[in-house]
């Protein structure tokens, strides 16, 4: 995540730089300190070339790699914004991010990647703390209240969730705080207090109290509505996600007859997008809050051919295979670490016709393609998608099939 100057600043800077060979690059006062935007000093088209080359080098030996799908508007695409709160040695309140590799907080006012409304809300909260006598949490002493603020905005719905992460359950003048925040930002649709009393680098704790609204937001993707709660995973770049899912559906080649597994399913977005084109969908996900969201989402979208299980994807698939379960198509969308040995083993028993692998890390994708190759799966096509402009991260969707054809 990279923080930076306001849009007007980088646009005017962009103009002056057009004369030089640094054409279309932007500036950010926190470049290097933040460490999020590794490619900030590169023009956007150059970033895409680098990512294309990265995927080509890792995946090209397994299958054809299509030209990367870049963003039309590569700024302020992040719908989820996180700020850590702290104080400097003079007692000034800081809100921003940890300096790369440290626990030192860099104060940030706005970021080139983040949703601008979310950034404004964080600044408002920072400004309110003094008058409400709310202390920021001190990691060393464990003293103080406010640890983090997390904001999520549904780009299609405009709904906004503010999560105030506190080091203890008591929030003094809670109602007045909520009222004052809503007065400044009537666009906020829900405010949640998340209580994290542990000395941990994890942002969110287990317990939550809804302070205002419904406790979650909704967003729309691929014609469906999804409820998203604070702890559930949701893709950070909804515009590119629509493209990614559409491509995943095209590669899956569903006809309406298939049994489909959506593994690492989060709140069920991929499975539900596939549900109208398949006979039965089974979603599996480890995070219980995400599974709860997924079940509600299926109901709200009137989808009756989809069911969800809360389990480790590998373990679930092994059990499913051992019980003679069938799967024609498997979507898999694991975290950066890629899939697990048990998951690959389960695939080797289930033998789906096609596997659609969505990956945010081409290195583990390459490793898993190698392993799946040994199980008789050939990679057919890989589509890189830029979901994370200005950073070195790249998403890809890759089709594998038993017969090596689409």
Contact residues toward ligand SAH (CB under 6 A) are 233-235, 264-266, 269-270, 284-287, 290, 312-313, 333, 335
Q: Which is nearer to ligand SAH, 122 or 270 (CB)?
A: 270
Strand ranges (DSSP E) for 154-258? 160-166, 190-195, 207-212, 216-221, 224-229
In angstroms, rounded to a whole number, what is the distance separating the alpha carbons of residues 2 and 131? 29
Q: How far is the CB of 396 from ligand SAH (least distance, A)?
A: 13
Q: How far is the CB of 226 from ligand SAH (least distance, A)?
A: 9
Give 133-139 contacts, CB < 8 A, sequence gap 24+.
133/172, 134/172, 134/177, 135/87, 136/85, 136/86, 136/87, 136/93, 136/94, 137/85, 137/86, 137/166, 137/167, 138/86, 138/87, 139/86, 139/103, 139/199
- For the record, the structure tokens of 135 come out as 């202390």
Q: How far is the CB of 322 from ligand SAH (least distance, A)?
A: 17
In angstroms, rounded to a whole number, what is the distance separating the alpha carbons of residues 382 and 323? 32
Count how many residues are written for the chain: 406
Q: Which is nearer to ligand SAH, 193 or 241 (CB)?
A: 241
DSSP 8-state code for residue 348: H
Q: Which is nearer to ligand SAH, 137 or 233 (CB)?
A: 233
Q: How far is the CB of 270 from ligand SAH (least distance, A)?
A: 5
Those residues whose C-beta lies under 8 Å from the C-beta of residue 173, and which sit 6 or more positions away, are 132
Q: Which is nearer to ligand SAH, 258 or 333 (CB)?
A: 333
Q: Which is nearer to ligand SAH, 265 or 385 (CB)?
A: 265
Phi first, then psi: what are they for 174, rounded to 5°?
-55, -50
User: Going by DSSP bridges, is the β-strand pair 207-212/190-195 parallel, antiparallel, or unpaired?
Assistant: antiparallel
Q: How far is the CB of 335 from ligand SAH (least distance, A)?
A: 5
In angstroms, rounded to a whole number, what is the distance separating the alpha carbons of residues 153 and 335? 22
Q: How far is the CB of 6 from ligand SAH (least distance, A)?
A: 30
Is 63 designated active site? no
- H or E element that contains 47: helix 44-59
- For the record, the structure tokens of 79 come out as 């719908």
Q: Which is nearer to ligand SAH, 146 or 265 (CB)?
A: 265
Q: How far is the CB of 185 from ligand SAH (least distance, A)?
A: 27
Q: Which is nearer to ligand SAH, 218 or 312 (CB)?
A: 312
Q: Where do the H-state alpha helices sit in 62-141?
A: 116-128
Phi first, then psi: what are they for 321, rounded to 5°?
-65, -40
Query: Which one of the listed residues 28, 360, 382, 398 is annotated catalytic?
Result: 360
Those residues whose C-beta lies under 8 Å from the C-beta of residue 350, and which sit 6 or more positions away, are 261, 317, 320, 321, 325, 326, 327, 330
In angstroms, rounded to a whole number, what is the distance separating the alpha carbons of residues 229 and 215? 7
Catalytic residues: 360
């Amino acid at each position: 995540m990279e923080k930076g100057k306001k849009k007007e600043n980088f646009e005017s800077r962009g103009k002056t730089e057009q004369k030089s060979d640094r054409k279309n690059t932007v500036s950010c006062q926190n470049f290097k300190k933040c460490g999020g935007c590794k490619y900030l000093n590169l023009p956007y088209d150059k970033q895409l070339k680098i990512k294309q080359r990265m995927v080509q080098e890792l995946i090209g030996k397994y299958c054809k790699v299509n030209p990367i799908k870049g963003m039309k508007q590569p700024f302020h695409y992040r719908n989820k914004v996180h700020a850590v709160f702290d104080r400097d040695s003079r007692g000034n309140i800081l809100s921003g991010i940890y300096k790369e590799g440290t626990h030192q907080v860099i104060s940030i006012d706005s970021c080139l990647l983040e949703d601008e409304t979310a950034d404004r809300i964080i600044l408002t909260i920072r400004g309110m703390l003094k008058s409400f006598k709310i202390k920021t949490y001190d990691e060393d002493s464990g003293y103080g209240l406010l640890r983090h603020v997390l904001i999520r905005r549904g780009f299609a719905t405009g709904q906004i969730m503010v999560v105030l992460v506190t080091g203890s359950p008591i929030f003094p003048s809670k109602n007045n705080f909520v009222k004052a925040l809503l007065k400044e930002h009537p666009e906020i649709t829900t405010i949640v207090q998340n209580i994290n009393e542990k000395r941990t680098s994890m942002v969110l704790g287990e317990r939550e109290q809804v302070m205002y609204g419904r406790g979650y937001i909704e967003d729309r993707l691929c014609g469906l509505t999804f409820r998203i709660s604070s702890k559930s995973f949701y893709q950070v770049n909804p515009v590119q996600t629509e493209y990614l899912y559409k491509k995943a559906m095209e590669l899956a080649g569903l006809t309406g007859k298939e049994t489909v597994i959506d593994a690492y399913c989060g709140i069920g977005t991929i499975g539900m997008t596939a549900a109208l084109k398949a006979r039965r969908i089974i979603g599996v996900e480890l995070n219980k809050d995400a599974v709860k969201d997924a079940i509600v989402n299926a109901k709200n979208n009137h989808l009756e051919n989809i069911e969800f299980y809360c389990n480790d994807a590998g373990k679930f698939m092994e059990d499913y295979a051992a019980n003679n379960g069938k799967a024609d198509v498997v979507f898999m969308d694991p975290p950066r670490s890629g899939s697990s040995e048990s998951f690959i083993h389960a695939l080797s028993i289930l033998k789906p016709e096609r596997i659609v692998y969505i990956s945010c890390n081409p290195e583990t994708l390459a490793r898993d393609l190698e392993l799946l190759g040994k199980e008789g799966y050939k990679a057919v096509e890989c589509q890189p998608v830029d979901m994370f402009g200005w950073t070195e991260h790249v998403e890809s969707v890759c089709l594998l099939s038993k017969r090596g054809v689409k």
